[in-house]
Amino acid sequence: MDGSPLPGAAPAAASAPAPAAAAPPASALPTHVGVYGGGRMGAGIAHAFLVAGSRVTVVESTAETADAARSRVERSVRTAQQRGTLVESPEALLGRLALTTRADDLGDCGLVVEAVPEDAAMKRQVLAAIEDAAPAAWLATNTSSLSVGGLAATLSSAERLVGLHFFNPVPASDLVEIVVAERTAPELVTAAQRWVSALGKTAVTVTDSPGFASSRLGVALALEAMRMLEEGVAGAEDIDTAMTLGYKHPMGPLRTTDVVGLDVRLAIAEHLARELGDRFEPPAILREKVAAGDLGRKTGRGFYPW
């Protein structure tokens, strides 16, 4: 999903390939969790692990982007306090949060989650840096559509990587999609299921495939809704209401696209079209809105004004 620009933190010096990490204790979450990328998704992931009791270090590229990431997490935590969903005080949670521009600071993490934008080359670069910097950690990618096996292919220990696809907004979402690549260690899958439970969320475990389960189904519905809008079948509000009232979806496909980001949905659709064929070809209305900068809630306008 969306995030900040590519963190450029310098990794630790290259070393010989590390052996696969041992499974963490059965008690619960790793004591120290890293999040590489502090955009909207990364900040939400950091929030979730802080609330569950872990110490969290977020890596960003510069002091300025690190400050912005800290502000995102702080706003998220204080919003949760206002809603009465915190057990600890915001000060206690934020006392376990660290921001850094150095991948080396992830060295003692038990888990590091990659949360940079949905670009395969960028993610591979970041995962390689994490692997070097945190030789004892399990690795996770928050990709919403890219092949986890493909991202793991250039790692020294591909068995250390699993997909942990969080949903936006992370603190309020109940779901995490665990994506198992061909070489993902079985003990990592078991650990990931335990971590998701410890976060107070529900896991669905899927085999690595284009779009997994959630993105593939969600994008298919959203693209058809866009085609209906293009063809004048109905307006955006009526299309969404048909799904919220008729099928009990909490939010219609067009409003959901605004929340996710039209640019994010376009990138996923283009990837799925390459992998699965023309049925995922993005409609003209989606390309036009992205070209115009109407990206949804984050820019103030998408299929709806915000």
CA distance 192 to 162: 8
CB atoms within 10 A of CB 92: 12
* Summary mean pLDDT of the chain: 91
Q: What is the pLDDT of residues 41-72, one digit of tens each?
A: 999 999 999 999 999 999 999 999 999 999 99
pLDDT of residue 136: 93
Helix (H, G, I), strand (E, B) or coil at 164: strand
At 11, is the pLDDT very low, low, confident or very high (cuts 50, 70, 90)? very low
pLDDT of residue 168: 85
Of 144, 147, 140, 137, the C-alpha closest to 126 is: 140
CA distance 225 to 119: 26
CA distance 250 to 248: 6
Tell me the percentage of the chain whose pLDDT exceeds 70.
Answer: 91
CA distance 161 to 177: 14
CA distance 44 to 50: 10
pLDDT of residue 28: 79
Q: What is the pLDDT of residues 101-133, one digit of tens each?
A: 999 999 999 999 999 998 999 999 999 999 999
Q: What is the pLDDT of residues 184-197, one digit of tens each?
A: 999 999 999 999 99
The model scores a pTM over 0.75: yes
Q: CB within 8 A of 261, min separation 6: which ones? A: 1, 2, 295, 296, 297, 298
- Domain architecture of the chain: domains with CATH: 32-207 (3.40.50.720), 214-299 (1.10.1040.10)
